[in-house]
A and B are shown apart, each in its own frame.
Chain A
Amino acid sequence: MNNNLLPLGTRDEFGSRAVNKQHIISVIEHSFSDRGFAKISTPLLEKKTVFEPYKLGNYQLYSLLDQEGDTIMLRPDMTLPIARFLSSTNISLPQKFWYVGDIFRISRQLSGSYNELTQAGIELVGYSSIKAEFECLILINQLSQKLLTDPIEIELGIADLTTVILKDLTDDTELQEEIAQALYDKQIPKYERLIDRFSNQPEYQFLLKWPRMFGKPERIFAQLAEDDLSPEIEQRISELKQVVNWIQTTLPDQAVSIDLSSRAPQQYYTGLTFKGFSKAGSGYLFSGGRYDKLLANFQDMTESAVGMGINIDLLTDLIERKPTVQKKLLYFKPDQWQAAEKVLQQNPNSILSLSDNLDDARKEAQQLRAELVDLTEGEFIG
């Protein structure tokens, strides 16, 4: 068997992709630091129990046994480890954290998907105010402007809206679950079969249009005005309208849409959800929301929290390759190191050639598409 093959679903990163990815991480890191977020790093490996609240999509998780025979996992998510950290320490709240690191999810074999993904994000823990959500929305707006040439659209949703609507509709919890699944997955033939039994009820007209209730807020709110909604639903819609108004006032150039038929990113979400996408990407670049019951998985006390993940790999796919300034490759003899170091300091676009002779340095310059500067010929004036 060859010993130089990668496991399925993994990749090496080098060259422009590695440079672009590092650039994105650096921009994000500066933005978070400038806004006073504290860096947090958690281990790649966690006990399996940490991820019990985690809902698997179409993928599996990497797991292995530790010395005591307990199952440990390569983390598929960054939020639950931070919740675990908070519940096991006496960190005073509120806190604003930021993180960047790799997560691991096993996708369908040979599907072209990668199993190791880089994610950055923030966790605002101990904040019950809507200002925590606004902080995330501002960051989506600012980071997308810093990193992308194409504008992105922010899509808002309400984590428990479907549950509230379906509880009003029927007491049959199995049916509620079936309708919710068909709605989230937009399996329209199945969804229409399931709601057919309510065709004589006043809610039927709403049920019919529900799967298409996403897009421009004005259109969706106008559609909702035709329906007789329960006070509980009205309250959630009213809160959503306030957020839309806030975005339209505070970030007038930011495209915003709403989706009343989508699944929350994870089942621990409890309030507003938000996602960001561009016209070009193959997935969501930003995804987050409020999850006030997150810590309840690890301790008796609940805690207000809002968080957001950023798909660094997808951003890297989209980022425009910056035109690179041609580098100068400095060739010098070992005893000229001080002189070479001086030129290096004075010329930010120069790099040292570690080649042993001029011929090798020429090849190195060709490979790097750099201009060769031969310091053995005399002093270089940059």
Chain B
Amino acid sequence: MDNKRLKIALTKGRVEKQVVPLLEAANINCDQIRNKKRRLIFDSETQPLEFILAKGPDVTTFLERGAADIGIVGSDILTEHQSSQYELLDLGIGKCQFVLASTQDFDPKAPKRKIIGTKYPLITKRYFDSLGQDVEIIKIEGSVELAPLTGLADAIVDITETGTTIRENNLKIFDYLDKVSTRLVVNRMSLKQHPDEIFSFVDQIKQVVDKKGKTISK
């Protein structure tokens, strides 16, 4: 058996903060990530693992190009970037939902071609396609809530965890779209090339996820 070191691309920021305790519960040493300072790549001295910290969309690019074997990233990004890699595990964290939101006076049934602001043009297009509506989509990189408030768009499609940001900006939710959570994704070729190492890593984490799920459902 070869000594394959698995390269794991982890979405930095909120996902990273939620995933690190999960990895530690699965006996994966994350001291280097906890003490990372400004470093973005960590070659574990105790395990055959290498961690890469990257932005969510870049995690999908690393995976697509085979620069990482495993990615940990939100399902929103996987869908938007049309990831074609294997999605082996729902980590049950980072749970939120896509919503259609706007100012109180927005009329979803108004007979007009709506203008929708979003960070997720593909998901937005698919949603309105399913309703049989053609809309104008404006890609916005952040603070999407500003779009209807400033008159840039009629409404937004965005993800929300609790709806607090939406409410605090005096916006109202008009529809609920797909649910989102953090997923463990594996490069297709890597799984064929190193199945034992990858399944061992995945199963280690799955045990923790299953246990956590059972605790929550009790």
Task: Pick the residue among A111, A189, A259 that contacts B65 (CB under 8 A).
Answer: A111
Task: Pick the residue among B61, B66, B84 that contacts A58 (CB under 8 A).
Answer: B84
Answer whether residue A279 sits at the interface, using C-beta atoms and an 8 A cutoff: yes
Given contacts A111-B61, A277-B189, contact A189 B199 (CB under 8 A): no
B195 and A215 contacting across the interface, CB-CB below 8 Å? yes
Answer whether residue B42 sits at the interface, using C-beta atoms and an 8 A cutoff: no
> A259 to B194, alpha carbons, bound, how many Å?
14
Q: Taking chain B's interface residues, is the majority helix, strand, or loop, or is none over half, making it mixed?
A: mixed
Answer whether residue B28 sits at the interface, using C-beta atoms and an 8 A cutoff: no
> A277 to B192, alpha carbons, bound, how many Å?
9
A189 and B192 contacting across the interface, CB-CB below 8 Å? no
Answer whether residue B2 sits at the interface, using C-beta atoms and an 8 A cutoff: yes
CB-defined contacts of B86 to chain A, threshold 8 Å = 185-188
Interface residues on B, range: 20 to 34
In the complex, residue of chain A having the shortest beta-carbon distance to the beta carbon of B199: A212
Q: How far is the CB of B178 from chain A (nearest CB, A)?
A: 11
B87 and A188 contacting across the interface, CB-CB below 8 Å? yes
> A185 to B191, alpha carbons, bound, how many Å?
12
Instruction: Digitize A274-305: 1 where CB-to-B-CB distance is under 8 Å, 0 elsewhere.
Output: 00010101111000000000000000000000
CB-defined contacts of B84 to chain A, threshold 8 Å = 57-58, 185
A283 and B195 contacting across the interface, CB-CB below 8 Å? no
B88 and A188 contacting across the interface, CB-CB below 8 Å? yes
In the complex, residue of chain B having the shortest beta-carbon distance to the beta carbon of A283: B189
Answer whether residue B7 sits at the interface, using C-beta atoms and an 8 A cutoff: no
Q: How far is the CB of A107 from chain B (nearest CB, A)?
A: 9
Q: How far is the CB of A11 from chain B (nearest CB, A)?
A: 15
CB-defined contacts of B186 to chain A, threshold 8 Å = 186
Answer whether residue B16 sits at the interface, using C-beta atoms and an 8 A cutoff: no
CB-defined contacts of A190 to chain B, threshold 8 Å = 87
A176-225 residues at the B interface, CB under 8 angstroms:
185-190, 212, 214-215
Answer whether residue B32 sits at the interface, using C-beta atoms and an 8 A cutoff: no
> A202 to B3, alpha carbons, bound, how many Å?
39
Task: Pick the residue among A111, A187, A189 that contacts B64 (CB under 8 A).
Answer: A111
In the complex, residue of chain B having the shortest beta-carbon distance to the beta carbon of A279: B193
CB-defined contacts of B65 to chain A, threshold 8 Å = 111-113, 282
B27-65 residues at the A interface, CB under 8 angstroms:
61, 64-65
CB-defined contacts of B183 to chain A, threshold 8 Å = 189
Given contacts A111-B65, A282-B65, contact A186 B195 (CB under 8 A): no
Q: Give the interface of A toward B (CB within 8 A).
A: 57-58, 108, 111-113, 153, 155, 185-190, 212, 214-215, 257, 259, 277, 279, 281-284
A and B contact pairs by CB, cutoff 8 A, 25 listed? A108-B81, A111-B61, A113-B64, A113-B65, A185-B87, A186-B86, A186-B88, A186-B186, A187-B86, A188-B87, A188-B88, A188-B89, A189-B87, A189-B90, A190-B87, A212-B199, A214-B195, A215-B195, A259-B192, A277-B189, A277-B192, A279-B2, A279-B193, A282-B66, A284-B189
